[in-house]
Each structure stands twice: as structure tokens, then as C-alpha cells.
Amino acid sequence: MDWMSLVVIPIIKSLVMIIGLLTAFAYLTWYERKLVARFQVRYGPNRAWKFGLGQPVADALKAIFKEEVVPGHVDKPVYLLAPALSLFPALVAFAVVPIGPSVMLFGRKVDLFVADVNIALLYVLAIASVGTYGIMLAGWSSNNNYSILGALRTAAQMVSYELPMGILLASFLIITGTLSLRGIVETPRPLWQSLWMMVAFIPYFICALAETNRSPFDLPETENELIAGFQTEYGGIKFALFFMSEYINMITSSAIMTTLFFGGWKGPFVDQFPWLGLVYFFLKVVALLFLFIWVRSSVPRARYDQLMHFTWKFLMPLSLAYLAVTAILKVFIG
């Protein structure tokens, strides 16, 4: 392999991924506001440029240039580090997601992913756990009771919901025989395996809601109880960084669910037109993001005790039963 393939192309793909995710985050906020408005028979953003498409740019400029105040009682180094620690894992988790087949670009064969690692699912779980530290440190460093309560809720919620999610991913390992997301997409499977994996979509999606702090599981920042929780002492661009990480985590979760449950970039005529795979992947991710927003608009926020009971008394036994049945099916059907 030449130096272009070893150094330049991975750097270019990484930059494209980061810029793409930051742009997608901005317009995901527009997408959500438009959808929620339609659910509530409103218009949503419609003043900033055509159809309100300039609203994310206006929001970004406002957050960047807004005067920031660092409270005197905070632990300043950790307080400043926490937003970046929350955002960085959200960006790098996407690196192992294949968004399309290999394509020819400027006479070179280019793989539409940054890295293909054989433990991609473990990598995603590990990176998601690191992102949790950003929220916890934000609450702890704020020296504010509401913020600390939000951080404690985050810790308990993430630990609780990562367990059933990890068990479901272990079930997928039994079925597919690989932890590589590229391998999961490209390896042919019998019909029964694809159908059985789809059974796990609803419990996995519920875990994804909790992992991304989305309603009805947005309890670490619930404003009616904690006045925004772990974010109480943050403002300006630092406040916006937490929202960036949440929305980018939504995109990454949707991309992973697309890969696991809906065939990733696969679709009709991709063999003849490889770039079409990128379109299929994008449309599937947008559909799952619609589901995230639909749930937010339709399901009321749960109490915290209901959240924990649902995890330990329903999702955990369900995921363990799914793992056991998966192992039995794999042994007897193959």
C-alpha cells in the first residue's frame, strides 16, 4: 500500500466524517423542530431563509457569540473539559460504521468507512461509556445540587441500559459470528436469522433512547425537576456542545441500528450503482431519526423509579431470554 492509502485517504475520510456529522447535527435540530411542529399542528422554523433552513446557522452563531459566564464556585479545569469529553466520543464512534460499499473515486477504490475493526461493536459500547463521563464530570464540577443529581442519574441510567444492550449485541455475535459492522452487513445470512434479529429491534431501540438521553428517558436533564440537571451551570457554546453530543449520538445510534437490523447500505441495484448504497443508508438513518422524534412527541416522560424498574424487571430478563433462545436456535438450526 502506498502512502496515499495509508495516511492521506484516512485523514480525508476522517475530516469528511467529522464535518458531515457536525452538519448533520445542525440540520437534525431543524428536522426535529419541523417534525414536532407538524405533530402539534404548527409550522416550526420558517423565517430564517427558505423553509427555515437557515435556522441552524443562526442558532450556531448565537451560541458561539453569546457572552459566557464561568461561575466562581465551579471546579474550572474539569468544568471546561466536560463538554469536550462529551462531544469527542460522539464523533469518533461513527468511525467504524460502513455507510456504503467500496466505490471508485478519482481512479482509486475507496471504502466508505474510516476504519474496519473486528471488534467494532465493542468499540462502540466502550466509546459510548466514555461519553457518559463527560456528563458525570459536568455535574460534579458544577458544585450544584441539581447538577450532581443529574450526573448521578446519568451514571445509574447508563449502567442499567448498557447491560441489556450488551446482552442483545452478544446475541448478534452468536448469530453473525463477527463483531465487525462491515462483516455484519456484507455476510449473507439465512432468512430466519434476519427475521430473528428484527425481533430484538424494539428492546434495542428502547436502550438506544436511554443511551442518548432522549425522551421519555431524558431524566438527567429533566427541567421540571432539576432545572436542566448536569447542564445547569453551563451557557453559550459549552451548553451547545452537550446538545451536539446528544444529537450526534442519535445519528450514530441510528446508523448502528441501520447496520444491525436493516441491512446497512444494501438495497436494489447497489451492485450496478455502488453510490446508490450511500443513498439507501441515508434514507434508513433519516427514517430512524424520525422514530426518535416521534417517540419524543408521543410518549410522556417516565418517573425515575419507573425507568429503573423497567430496565431491571423487564428489559434485563427479556434480553437474557433472547440470548438463550438465540443460542438454542443457532445450535439446532445453524
Domain coordinates of the chain in residue numbers? 66-332
Residue 93 pLDDT more than 60? yes
Extract the C-alpha cell encoding 158.
Answer: 447508563
Q: Which amino acid is at 138?
A: A
Residue 46 pLDDT more than 80? yes
Residues 50 and 86: their CA atoms lie apart, in Å, by 33
Residues 308 and 302: their CA atoms lie apart, in Å, by 10
Residue 285 pLDDT more than 90? yes
- Model confidence at 281, pLDDT cuts 50, 70, 90, reads very high
Give this prediction's pTM.
0.91
Q: What is the pLDDT of residue 205?
A: 94
- Model confidence at 6, pLDDT cuts 50, 70, 90, reads low
- DSSP letter for each residue of 192-213: HHHHHHHHTHHHHHHHHHHHTT
State the chain's mean pLDDT as an integer. Answer: 85
Secondary structure (3-state) at 321: helix
Nearest CA-CA partner of 216 in 87, 315, 317, 310:
310
Q: What is the pLDDT of residue 267?
A: 87
Task: Tell me the mean pLDDT in the region 308-317.
Answer: 90
Residue 1 pLDDT more than 60? no
Higher confidence at residue 193 or residue 131?
A: 193
Q: What is the pLDDT of residue 334?
A: 66
Residue 191 pLDDT more than 80? yes
- Model confidence at 200, pLDDT cuts 50, 70, 90, reads very high
Q: What is the pLDDT of residue 218?
A: 79
Percentage, residues of the chain above pLDDT 70:
96
Task: Tell me the mean pLDDT in the region 95-106.
Answer: 84
Percentage, residues of the chain above pLDDT 90:
19
How far is CA 311 from each of CA 151, 187, 286, 315, 317, rounded to the nearest angstrom? 19, 32, 27, 5, 9
Residues 166 and 124: their CA atoms lie apart, in Å, by 11
Task: Tell me the mean pLDDT in the region 117-138.
Answer: 84
230-276 per-position pLDDT tens digit: 878 887 888 888 888 888 989 999 999 999 999 888 888 888 888 89
Residues 61 and 99: their CA atoms lie apart, in Å, by 30
- Model confidence at 327, pLDDT cuts 50, 70, 90, reads very high
How far is CA 71 from each of CA 68, 95, 231, 330, rounded to the nearest angstrom? 10, 36, 13, 57
Q: What is the pLDDT of residue 80?
A: 84
Cβ–Cβ < 8 Å for 122, 25? no
Secondary structure (3-state) at 333: coil
Residue 284 pLDDT more than 90? yes
Q: What is the pLDDT of residue 161?
A: 86
Residues 218 and 302: their CA atoms lie apart, in Å, by 9
